[in-house]
Structure 1
């Protein structure tokens, strides 16, 4: 089972760690569980998980700082598991690069399903790592957007959405197609995650939120990327 995906669990509650560890191992995953952010960060020096389950209410650090590092620097898929149910907490977590947000209390089977959804294989994609459109160059090998001397980082989660748009320019992409391509569980959580990522991409591209030039919303249908794209 050494080639099974590695799922890390960061939560200071022993019962939560035990429940998730048992459910994930029964589902065929490898697991490592941590109770402190410092322990988890030490492990990251040698290992990058396939999916990280992160609690926000940690005793030694706010989990949101770890979410940002995991998504932007490590390239890991992140699912927040938290007792914070406020909409703003969800939005903040997703803005920092989390792929999903689960509130406590939860069913272990639901968490396993969400992990599987994040690991679901997308269709084979081109190996090109650089895309040019308008004044911008997207570097997927280093997760950055370049325009002249300006360079802006984007997260793994944002990269998935941007690549989807750039691989299908001037074609309608529905929510269902996004879910199938990116892996996700249909519902409000997935829709919220997509809304946040698209909003952040528009901001990084200097788009007018009321009249975006590149990423157009087709209400009730999906999105269209209007730029001309060349890959290399």
Structure 2
């Protein structure tokens, strides 16, 4: 057994793949590398990585489609590592469920810092390991299974990014959370891409919670100030 986080690296360029693996292993991570999406997806049936580093320019699969699938089916943190520099590429990647976006060429120290930030547990979670299920307004959030359970028992999966946002709200009920506080709690590069990603994740959470988008009752928008989560929370 090992406590070292497992990082799956999907990168078709051998030199970059080697640098990423060596850098991360020197920093205390375990790595498993893949050159093609088909190999990577087959391996996911047998391994459970803590994070996935995904290149978008893959020879056998659209990288953005793969990111979206990982976000909806995997509990791993997802970081895109790509040479695509356009703001729209970054925004699209984050909207599809990635947790962060690193542009090539990158500094090894930046890669390590970004990865550690995505794997860092929220401070409130460190109080007790049993804080993995929360009940509110008839709903249950299971952060071990990355699932939302409705009042009638129906289960809906959450992406890693959606779970992070929901956890932020559940750890801070009935408190106004500004964009700046979101960035501090969740990490990331900030700016337009961060704001757009938060809007999308909050919209998806509202949809999964059955909220009326014109008049949400749980996740309220305070225009010009931030968001507030209006429910009593029970942890177990």
Scaled to the shorter chain, the TM-score interval is 0.7 to 0.9
Please, which runs of 5 or more residues in structure 2 have no aligned partner?
none
1:140-168 superposed Cα distances (whole Å, 9 cap, x missing partner): 44412425476533212111211221232
Q: 1:9 to 1:219 in 2, by over 3 A?
A: same
CA contact (8 A) 1:132 1:231 kept: no
Is residue 51 from structure 1 mapped to residue 51 from structure 2 by the alignment?
yes
Q: 1:93 to 1:145 in 2, by over 3 A?
A: farther
Please, which runs of 5 or more residues in structure 1 have no aligned partner?
none
Match of 1:168 among 172, 188, 200: 172
Paired residues, what number? Answer: 230
In structure 2, the residue corresponding to 1:127 is in which secondary structure? coil
1:102-154 superposed Cα distances (whole Å, 9 cap, x missing partner): 23333333222211111223224352514231x64444444124254765332
Match of 2:205 among 201, 204, 211: 201
Aligned equivalent of 1:187: 190
In structure 2, the residue corresponding to 1:173 is in which secondary structure? coil
CA distance in 2, matches of 1:46, 1:185: 30
Q: 1:213 to 1:36 in 2, by over 3 A?
A: same
Is residue 31 from structure 1 mapped to residue 31 from structure 2 by the alignment?
yes
CA contact (8 A) 2:67 2:78 kept: yes
CA distance in 1, matches of 2:169, 2:102: 27
Q: Normalising by the residue count of structure 2, what TM-score does the alignment of the two structures yield?
A: 0.81
Instruction: Please give the root-mean-square deviation of Cα atoms over the aligned residues, in Å.
Output: 2.9
CA distance in 2, matches of 1:68, 1:204: 16
Q: Normalising by the residue count of structure 1, what TM-score does the alignment of the two structures yield?
A: 0.82
